[in-house]
Amino acid sequence: MRNTYLVLAVILTVLYACTTDRDFEIESITAPEDPTFELVHYWNFNDTAALITPTQSIGGAGISYAGDRFDDVDDSTVLNVRGTDEAGDALRLRNPSGDFIVDLPTTGYQDAIVTYATKRSGSGAQQQTFSYTTDGTNYTQAGLDNTSYGITETYVLRQFDFSAIADADNNPNFKIKIEFNISADGTSGNSRFDNFTLDAIPAGGGSVETSELFHYWNFNDDTDLITLITPNVGDGSLSYFGATYDDVDGSDINARNMAGAGKGLRLRNPSGDLIMNIPTTGRKNIELKFAVTRSGSGSQDFTISYTTDGTTYIDTGISPSTFTIIESYELREFDFTGIAGVDNNPNFKVKLSFDNTSSTATSGNSRFDNLSVEGEVDNSTPQASNSRFELFQYWNFNDDTDLVTLITPNVGSGTLEYSGASFDDVGGSDINARNMDADGRALRLRNPSGDFIMNLPSTGYENLSLKFAVTRSGSGSQTFQIAYTVDGTNYIDTGISPTTYTVIEDYELREFDFSAITAVNNNANFKVKITFDATSAAATSGNSRFDNLTLEGDTL
């Protein structure tokens, strides 16, 4: 903890002796000299390669700007610098302006004080208006004075004291918003910020638990369907069992890391379940948020459930569990704090099921944007217990020197067999790629199709999880069935539900949790068989494609 306020008081004294901004000047700032204050969040904007990444933070802090664009500017100040920092660069928000929102969670802290230096260029917005939210959505100025102030072409320090606003204490949803007026809509000009801080006192005097963003999708990269559902933060994955999905206009609700209102995820009818694979390993007190809307014919409601074993879905602890969807983006939040089994769980998934009407409709869609998962670091369970889960069979199919190297595993001693016409390589995917592997090549199984057998000895492992990316050509097999054997000969599907899966014309992740099937544990004869639809078995063209095939499990 640092007492920075003796320095700050001196700065303020000098500042208010020389400012000419009298109409909006904040006359009564009292800089606390209480040594119990700590620096909770801080941006000095000097690292231009990571401009909006906090210089110091307890976690969960973020910046978003809904205006034209932002960048750095070599025009800084020493007002409110901390530690040994020097004047370097500042954040430049370019016109036409939009809302400037700063996520400042106060989890574990109280009596917050927000401070920053700000100025404008000659054509920049001449007035700023300050507000805050305690629920993450609705902004207010209640309890604050001097929330609108003029901006000059010289840096001026602004400070807002939340010590009398109880709802700002210990609040993971606390944010501030700055709106711009007077010359804010020009095609030139900009507003500038430097040395942005939140200081506060630890609540209760105990250790502070910090909530951090560890899974996040903004859906703005619509290069293809794969990049659209590739997470921006974390290693989670999404699966949709409806007709198809693509991109649509998005929202800035719940946007993080300066993401704009770019694209959203559109799930087309006939609808099916949306599964969010969001492992919480090393995290606790989990909170899920997303923006959601629908088209006029889209699903009018959804039901939420979750699984802690990777297979069985329940809604225990969620009330209500069914939510309406309106025709404009709206924030939905789900707090899993205190729900048994959710914390520190590599098998945690959330399922959204849409209304029955949409499951048969031929038009309409549901839309999602800015899907985030946050949680505190969980130090209560020794992390060594999680290290038992290992990757022990893996093919990335990137070595296409010949057909032998193509199906040689990158990890493990498994083998692959295909009884169809032939196999070769094709362009791959980065879905489920491991060890920093690129989206190089993939395995192409050509029609007429036959069984695809994965020989996956699990000797020394239990609680198995099989994953792979799969797609097809236009004439490729539209479905596959999965079965397994524990004796090396007789195939069954006991414990797998469903057993038949659709295959679309874009790579999609498929996951199969064998953790409840004890016969596959520590088994040298374990194999998995994929059988394709009858039409492809006779077709003379078309193919199925697989990439990044993995088998993981706990060591015995």
**Position of tokens 């209480």?**
34
Looking at residue 257, its pLDDT comes to 73
- The number of C-alpha atoms within 13 Å of 355 and in the hemisphere containing its C-beta is 16
Q: Are 372 and 286 in contact (CB under 8 A)?
A: no
**What does each C-alpha distance from 529 to 64, 450, 476 come to in angstroms?**
48, 10, 18
Average pLDDT of the residues of the chain: 87
Spatial distance between the Cα atoms of 97 and 192, rounded to a whole number of angstroms: 12
Each residue's pLDDT tens digit, 180-192? 999 999 999 999 9
User: Which of 22-36, 119-133, 336-350 bottoms out in mean pLDDT, i.e. has the lowest?
Assistant: 22-36
- Per the rule left: phi > 0, alpha: psi between -120 and 50, beta: everything else, 344 is left
For the sheet containing 415-418, what is the strand order? Answer: 415-418, 452-455, 527-532, 479-485, 500-502
> Could you tell me the pLDDT band of residue 361, with boundaries at 50, 70 and 90?
very high
Which structure tokens are listed for 528? Answer: 């998995």
pLDDT of residue 205: 42
Question: Average pLDDT, stretch 385-398?
Answer: 76
pLDDT for res 261: 87
b/e sequence 137-169, b meaning 16+ C-beta within 10 Å: eebeeeebebbebbbeeebbbbbbbbeebebbb
Residues of the chain with pLDDT > 90, as a percent, come to 69
Per-position DSSP letters for 350-377, written without gaps between them: EEEEE-TTTTT-SS-EEEEEEEEEEEEE
Specify the pLDDT at position 379.
54
Which residues have a Cβ under 8 Å from the Cβ of 112 and sit 6 or more positions away? 40, 104, 106, 162, 163, 168, 169, 174, 198, 199, 200
Amino acid 188 reads S
Residue 199 phi, psi dihedral angles, 5° rounding: -110, 150
Is residue 28 over pLDDT 60?
no
- Residues 58-72: tens digit of each pLDDT: 777 889 999 999 999
At 34, the pLDDT band (50, 70, 90 cuts) reads: low
210: pLDDT confidence band, cut at 50, 70 and 90?
low
Cα–Cα distances in angstroms (integers) from residue 274 to residues 185, 240, 314, 350, in the given order: 40, 5, 15, 8
In this prediction, residues 12-17 reach a mean pLDDT of 36
Query: Where is pLDDT greater, at 484 or 49?
Result: 484
Beta bridge partners of 549: 395
What CA–CA distance (Å, rounded) separates 251 from 231?
17
How confident is the model over 269-275, as a mean pLDDT? 96
Mean pLDDT of the region 332-361: 93
- C-alpha distance from residue 245 to each of 6, 240, 364, 385 (Å): 56, 8, 12, 38
Mean pLDDT confidence for 491-497:
92
Distance, in Å, from the CA atom of 306 to the CA atom of 445, rounded to the nearest integer, reads 35
pLDDT of residue 385: 35
CA 485, CA 465: separation in Å to the nearest integer? Answer: 15
Distance, in Å, from the CA atom of 467 to the CA atom of 332, rounded to the nearest integer, reads: 29
Q: What angle do CA 317, 238, 436 make, to 5 degrees?
A: 120
